[in-house]
Amino acid sequence: MLITFGGIAAFFAVIVVILQLSGIRDSSSEYAIGRRSFGANYQAMSFLNT
């Protein structure tokens, strides 16, 4: 079990290092909206709808 969790942790550590070295800067909000912005009308309708 230690080997399994260690392997998974090592895999994620390698992924994090690769992403840090490649210089990819992205946020989850940019991913969700595709780097687009919503207008004030759409934001107001979304807020009132919730």
Q: What is the pLDDT of residues 17-36, one digit of tens each?
A: 887 777 656 556 665 666 67
Question: Residue 17: CB partners within 8 Å, gap ≥ 6?
Answer: none
pLDDT classification of 7: cutoffs 50, 70, 90: very high
Residue 2: predicted pLDDT: 78
Considering only the C-alpha atoms of the chain, give the largest distance between any 2 of them, rounded to a whole number of Å: 53
Q: Which two tokens stand for residue 16?
A: 């994090």
Quick check: pTM over 0.85?
A: no
Give the mean pLDDT of the chain.
Answer: 77
Q: Which two tokens stand for residue 13?
A: 């550590």
Q: How many CA atoms within 13 Å lie on the side-chain side of 16? A: 6
Task: Report how far residue 37's alpha carbon sits from residue 47's, in angstroms, rounded to the nearest whole number.
Answer: 15
pLDDT over 70 for what percent of the chain? 68
